[in-house]
């Protein structure tokens, strides 16, 4: 193989991932190891365990990514690694390994903003997608509306005041006894419920801000009122109602952002963009107003292919200094 590939490395939270991407647009290999089994007994991510596991898994995932691609280190033109936001110890593992590879292979290294990565995942799904675009990134820690005027530049136009959408799903799932990881489990349960039987309020703030903590409290009180009398069907109905309130709140702001901005492309990305109802409603809201790109399910949740893509298109040789609380800049 004689093309120049970008090697992506992602270790910001509970997925260890290594990918090889061609021209920032074509996924050649993308291997992902989820730490769900490691953390599930604790009901959430244990940072020290996560960091140690990233370190143990990376060598074999690197081998696997190259094997699947039929490529070797000589084919790599750039190494892109997540530098933030995320868990400090986890980010340090990825950056440390990337720095080591960069030094031993004499290849340039670029530090990538994980949030940018979620948007760039859409360009792997639709290779002709270019900025300017309007993005909604909904993940475990973020619910942000952004404008992307050009490659490597983002302007936040809306965000959450409190919990992120994914965080809200995870907490609601815990209240419903679904354990970790909550979002996908709540999605599955909601499919068997009717949101009209246990309606919950739809959060509504002026402008483009989100808020999900009141909705979480409403669910808590409803479960408290039901007490021991709560049935499996009640839980399914509540899951459906909670999902509907979160999704409709996101849709209301996406709709407003679309009215305020004239863009021809919309991207909805991040782990929560894997949600069944959100995908369906997004298609309806954007229809006839812009072209919509949602990454494939595998590229919605954390993965290294999106990091490679963002590293390829972002400003050259960005610092790889770890910054756990990095914003969109």
Q: Give min distance, CB of 24 to Zn ion, in A.
A: 18
Closest Cα to residue 273, out of 309, 291, 246? 246
Q: What is the SS3 assignment for 236-272?
A: HHHHHHHHHHHHHHHHHHHHHHHHHCCCCEEEEECHH
Tokens of 125: 């799904």
Q: Give min distance, CB of 292 to Zn ion, in A.
A: 20
Distance CA 257, CA 289 (A): 12
Q: Which is nearer to ligand KG4, 185 or 290 (CB)?
A: 185
Residue of the chain from 302, 307, 314, 318 that contacts Zn ion (CB under 5 A): 302
Tokens of 152: 């490597």
Q: Which is nearer to ligand KG4, 5 or 272 (CB)?
A: 272
Yes or no: say if 12 and 270 are a contact pair by the CB < 8 Å rule. no
Q: Give min distance, CB of 131 to Zn ion, in A.
A: 20
The SS3 assignment for 158 reads strand
Q: Give min distance, CB of 91 to ligand KG4, in A.
A: 12
Q: Does 303 bind Zn ion (CB under 5 A)?
A: no
Distance CA 110, CA 118 (A): 17
- Residue 314 interacts with, from ligand KG4, Zn ion, none (CB under 5-8 Å by kind): none
Using CB under 5 A, which of the segments 33-41, 103-111, 193-201, 301-309 binds Zn ion? Answer: 301-309
- Residue 295 interacts with, from Zn ion, ligand KG4, none (CB under 5-8 Å by kind): none
Residue of the chain from 11, 17, 82, 139 that contacts Zn ion (CB under 5 A): 139
- Residue 187 interacts with, from ligand KG4, Zn ion, none (CB under 5-8 Å by kind): ligand KG4
Q: What is the 8-class DSSP label of residue 202?
A: P
Give the footprint of Zn ion on this chain (CB under 5 A): 139, 302
């Amino acid at each position: 193989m004689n093309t120049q590939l970008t090697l992506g490395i992602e270790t910001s939270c509970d997925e260890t991932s290594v990918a090889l991407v061609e021209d920032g647009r074509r996924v050649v290999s993308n291997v992902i190891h989820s730490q769900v089994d490691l953390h599930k007994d604790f009901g959430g991510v244990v940072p020290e365990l996560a960091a140690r596991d990233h370190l143990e898994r990376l060598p074999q995932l690197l081998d696997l990514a190259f094997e699947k691609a039929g490529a070797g280190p000589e084919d790599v033109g750039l190494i892109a690694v997540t530098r933030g936001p995320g868990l400090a110890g986890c980010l340090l593992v990825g950056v440390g390994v990337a720095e080591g590879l960069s030094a031993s292979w004499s290849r340039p290294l670029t530090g990538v903003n994980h949030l940018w990565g979620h948007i760039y995942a859409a360009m792997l799904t639709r290779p002709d997608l270019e900025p300017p675009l309007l993005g909604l990134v909904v993940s475990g820690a973020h619910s942000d509306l952004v404008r992307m005027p050009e490659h490597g530049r983002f302007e936040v136009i809306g965000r959450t005041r409190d919990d992120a959408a994914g965080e809200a799903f995870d907490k609601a799932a815990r209240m419903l006894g679904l354990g970790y990881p909550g979002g996908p489990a709540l999605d599955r349960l909601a499919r068997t419920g009717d949101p009209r039987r246990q309606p919950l309020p739809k959060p509504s703030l002026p402008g483009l801000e989100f808020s999900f903590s009141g909705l979480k409290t409403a669910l808590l009180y409803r479960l408290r009122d039901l007490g021991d009398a709560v049935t499996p069907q009640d839980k399914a109905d509540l899951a459906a109602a909670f999902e509907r309130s979160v999704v409709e709140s996101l849709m209301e702001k996406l709709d407003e952002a679309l009215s305020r901005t004239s863009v021809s492309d919309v991207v909805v990305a991040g782990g929560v963009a894997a949600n069944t109802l959100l995908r369906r409603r997004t298609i309806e809201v954007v229809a006839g107003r812009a072209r919509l790109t949602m990454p494939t399910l595998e590229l919605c949740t954390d993965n290294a292919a999106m990091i490679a893509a963002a590293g390829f298109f972002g400003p050259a040789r960005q610092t790889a200094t770890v910054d756990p609380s990095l914003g969109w800049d």
